[in-house]
Amino acid sequence: METRKVWLVTGASKGLGHTLVKKLLQNNYAVVATSRRVASLIEEIGDTSEIFLPIEVNVTDDHDVKKAIEKGVAHFGKIDVVVNNAGYGQIGTLEELSDDEARENFDVNVFGSLNVIRNVMPYLRQQKSGAIFNISSVGGLFGGFAGWGIYCATKFAVAGFTEALAEEVKAFGVSATVVYPGYFRTDFLSNGSVKTPVSPIQEYEAARQSEKTHLNSISGNQPNDPEKAADVLIAISKEATPPVHLLLGTDAYDMAKNKANLLNKDIEQWKSYTLSTAF
């Protein structure tokens, strides 16, 4: 009989993390769930059974993350599946975002996930099993969106280190998957989640328009269902060999195809220059 799998999910108080944790608990998985405010996490999930361990964690604090993982392993004896989900979108052009605004987005989306990976890997490496899902975005595969450069850069970083991680940990029986969601109907584009620039520059018309469209039209009308994303993650976690790259949503599929075509076009069109640099 399979022993009960233990999941660790960051950013579990709302959105995709919240939906996933609810579904995992309904399916009798054990869950270590983290959030910046544990009271709201308990309130939101509403499950106080012994298979649910809510922990207050600031993912940007390495020590906090280490303690939470220690607590999770002490409580359940192991961690099997890790979902680096906590993250937010910082809208704004590269010129208008301050150093602080840009770094804060990297702190949460990139260094937060690295803190989890660094502190959980000793356990996965020792037990010689485990699966890590790092939630990037289709914006971590294609960055050609005015006003989303910093957010996309954080998600490109997630994709880059996940590809390396997959190579590093496969010898220990651990898988690493970069997940590229398209638009999912969560709080992602709502006030309190997405951040807009403190000092916007009106001359960036395309970026201002994109900001308006995202906050006023796309928010609430995203084509993808977080419940189905959670189902896919659970299904993939049962695969013998989970993929390194996982796209979620028809929009993500189309954008990935478009990116592959654009890249291929540039590779071929400029090939003579590319090949001209050898000694």
Report the interface residues with ligand NAD, using CB under 6 A.
11-17, 35-36, 59, 85-88, 108, 135, 137, 181, 183-184, 186-188, 193, 222
**How far is 110 from 115, CA to CA, in rounded Å?**
9
User: Token pair for residue 38?
Assistant: 């544990």
For 277, which DSSP code?
A: G
In terms of CB distance, is 56 or 125 closer to ligand NAD?
Answer: 56
In terms of CB distance, is 6 or 138 closer to ligand NAD?
Answer: 138
- Beta strands across the sheet bearing 30-35: 52-56, 30-35, 6-9, 81-84, 130-135, 174-181, 245-248
Question: Nearest to ligand NAD by Cβ — which residue?
Answer: 15
| Min dist. Cβ of residue 46 to ligand NAD (A) | 15
Candidates 151, 180, 183, 204; catalytic one: 151
| Catalytic residue status for 67 | no
The secondary structure of 225-236 as a DSSP string is -HHHHHHHHHHH
| Catalytic residue status for 29 | no
| Min dist. Cβ of residue 69 to ligand NAD (A) | 15
State how far Cα 114 lies from the chain centre: 11
Query: Which residues, listed in sequence order, are joined to residue 31 by a DSSP beta bridge?
Result: 7, 52
For 203, which DSSP code?
A: T
In terms of CB distance, is 12 or 153 closer to ligand NAD?
Answer: 12
| Catalytic residue status for 22 | no
**How far is 193 from 212, CA to CA, in rounded Å?**
15
Residue 33, SS3 per DSSP: strand
In terms of CB distance, is 59 or 176 closer to ligand NAD?
Answer: 59
Residue entry with tokens 């090939």 = 271
Candidates 14, 23, 155, 204; catalytic one: 155
Catalytic residues: 136, 151, 155
